[in-house]
Amino acid sequence: MIYLFLTGYTDLLIKAADAAAFFDICRSLGIGPKSQKRDEKSGDIVGRFSQSAAKKLLALAAQRELAVKVVREGGFPMLLTRLLASPASVAGILAAILLFVSAELVLWDVEITGTETLSEGEVEEALAAAGLSRGCFLPRLDTDAVAIRVRQADARIAYVAINLTGTVATVQVRESAPRPEVSLHTPANLVARCDGVVVLPLIYEGKCVVEPGQTVRAGQILASGILDTDNNGIRLTRAAGSVMARTEQTFSVTVPFSYLEKVYTGRSWHEVEVSFFGLAGKVFKNTGNMTDTCDIIKTDKEFVLGARTLPCGVTHTAYRAFEWVTVQRTATEALALAEAELAAALSEASSSRTLLQRVTETSVSDCGVTLICTAVFEEDIAIAAEFFVEQ
Amino acid sequence: MPKKRDFLSLIGSKLELPREALPGGFALMLSGQEELTVRGCKKILVYERQTVTLSLGRVFLTVSGDALFCSAFGGGAVTLSGKIDTLSFSKGERI
């Protein structure tokens, strides 16, 4: 039956009275019907023959004036004839062939492996800047040149290897090794990170040069890494330890009574863009009378087939118009907001130190509310300051 | 009194050849009750749902049954398919 479809078939209607004569013609030519169906009432027979056989049978039947006629023609040749009769179908078939052929000439996907701290998006951006991205023309792609450009452009990437497998590029990345930490043997002093009053120095390496209750300035030495020994002269060491001190910090928060608030007007515009192998085209937009003040929300959606991202997608851009409206706050609202902001700032500042005391002054003017808070913390103010000795 | 065998049959028996191999011969092969292959068919005389008559030279073969149709032609043979009830021979005019 598949053979009959591929070569084409013809259904012939043979009248019951001429059946014997017609089938005798079939016998003489050695051509049998592929299938037969007899009408129960009239006795007429519909037989399916190949197109070439049907032509011969019709010619001989016409010679003998037999009542045989074609009721249906079908198969691939007929389908092709009907398709080719329509210009749109021909154009569609040609476009499909062109797409099929050209699909092998562009890069469909990029697979990135070996990243640890870098994100795949960052690597893809670097690759795109170097000339490799989804939709690029494969015959013109020089993977070695791209790899060299990527390594030179980003210091975080130590090595890149690009392998092409069909229309997929596999990129192996090795990130640069982190800088080695400072050697623990480098001599260093401990100095004050900020002003404060020493509460408790805990020095376990080096010489402590401050006492509890002493006021120190930022940068002042708290513990020295130069040790003067009695027998062996001067010895250099890396001072280590902690110096707990009371420090003071001032926070200021101002909340105005009037402020500008963004209010959306309700008007919006949209644009839809379709991308295909790196080429993009707008398919819809109604941004004719857009205003200047609007938020732009862009959503990119790439089509996915299974685990494979296809090199085509849709970008939807929405524009929402807004206007700035002056809004008034009451004094109570302004004060509450200022206190909340102050609390947040103090909470952040207290994450690595202990808050001992705070004094807050409130000032109200025509413009707004101002809170000035002086906070006292207890914290470790010692930091290492390395020094180098010429030998 | 037994009928006289025809001359060709006599030749065939002497030469040990089957009768169908000689001029005017025919052969039938019935497979079950659904398929009949006839070799030596000269013409299809009647082709109806319940009756098919074939000319085998000087003999007519009438096949009676139901839903009879010729399913294949080739190599000088005609294959009849359907429900075959009876086969009958009758004398016919030579074609």
Find the length of chain A. Answer: 391
Task: Tell me which residues of chain B have a C-beta less than 8 Å from any C-beta of chain A.
Answer: 41, 43-49, 53, 67, 69-75, 78-79
Distance CA A107, CA A111 (A): 11
Distance CA A216, CA A212 (A): 10
Distance CA A291, CA A324 (A): 13
Distance CA A343, CA A310 (A): 49
Q: Predicted confidence band at B95 (pLDDT cuts at 50, 70, 90)?
A: very low
Residue of A22, A23, A25, A27 to mutate when probing chain B, most B C-beta within 10 A: A27
> According to the model, what pLDDT value does residue A10 have?
93
Q: Which residues contact A365 (CB under 8 A, 6 or more apart)?
A: none
Q: Predicted confidence band at B2 (pLDDT cuts at 50, 70, 90)?
A: very low
Distance CA A142, CA A166 (A): 15
* Closest CA–CA distance from residue B61 to any residue of chain A (Å): 14
Say if residue B50's pLDDT is above 50. yes
Q: Which residues contact A251 (CB under 8 A, 6 or more apart)?
A: A342, A345, A346, A349, A371, A372, A373, A374, A375
Q: Do B48 and A31 touch (CB under 8 A)?
A: no
Q: Do B41 and A27 touch (CB under 8 A)?
A: yes
| SS3 assignment, position A305 | strand
- The highest-level CATH class for domain B27-91 is mainly beta
Residue B22 near residue B8, CB atoms below 8 Å:
yes
* Run means of pLDDT, 10 residues per run, chain A, 391 residues: 84 93 92 89 92 92 92 87 81 82 80 88 90 86 90 88 88 81 77 95 93 95 88 86 95 93 88 81 74 84 76 86 90 93 92 91 92 94 87 61
Q: Which residues contact A51 (CB under 8 A, 6 or more apart)?
A: A7, A8, A9, A10, A73, A75, A77
SS3 sequence, A26-70?
HHHHCCCCCEEEECCCCCCEEEEEEHHHHHHHHHHHHHCCCCEEE
Q: How far is CA A302 from the centre of its chain?
A: 9
Using CB atoms, which residue from A19, A32, A45 is nearest to B71?
A32
Distance CA B80, CA B93 (A): 22
Question: Tens digits of per-residue pLDDT, B5-49?
Answer: 567 777 777 777 766 666 778 889 999 999 999 998 989 999 999
Q: What is the CATH number of domain A109-175?
A: 3.10.20.310
DSSP state of A347: H
- Find the largest Cα–Cα distance for chain A: 138
Distance CA A87, CA A126 (A): 45
Look at strands A9-14 and A221-224 and give their pairing. Answer: unpaired
With a threshold of 0.80, does the pTM exceed it? no
**Domains A2-79 and A109-175 alike in fold:** no
Per-domain residue ranges of chain B = 27-91
Per-domain residue ranges of chain A = 2-79, 109-175, 188-245, 252-257+329-379, 258-328
> According to the model, what pLDDT value does residue B5 have?
55
Residues of A with Cβ-Cβ distance to B41 under 8 angstroms: 27
- The highest-level CATH class for domain A2-79 is alpha beta
For the beta carbon of residue A345, count every other beta carbon within 10 angstroms: 17
> In the block, which residue shows the tokens 């390594």?
A151
